[in-house]
Amino acid sequence: MTLTGCSSFEFREDICSNGEYPVMTVNGTGSACVSDGEQPPAGYVRYPEGNVPRHVDDKWDVYWRTHTLDEDGNVITAPDAG
């Protein structure tokens, strides 16, 4: 007897590894992961609280591909989006 079926399990790739958090470039769409407890490197900032991408292709990962923060922390359309 063979059993087949569909699984509701969906693999979602994390943006960062355990013990890290994502950061984004100022005025660009680049990103990186930083170890918990460390500050973002020069030219990077934390994502606004509540708008942090957690998984590849989630709502915020897609949004931040065309948006960024300027040097004053304002959300703007990313100059390199396209």
> Residue 24: how many CB atoms within 10 A of its CB?
24
Residue with more model confidence, 79 or 38: 38
Write down the residue that tokens 């699984």 correspond to. 7
Kind of pairing, strands 31-35 and 67-69?
A: unpaired
- Domain extents for the chain? 20-77
Residue with more model confidence, 47 or 8: 47
pLDDT tens-digit profile of 21-73? Answer: 999 999 999 999 999 999 999 999 999 999 999 999 999 999 999 999 999 99
- What CA–CA distance (Å, rounded) separates 77 from 74? 10
Q: Is the pTM of this model over 0.85?
A: no
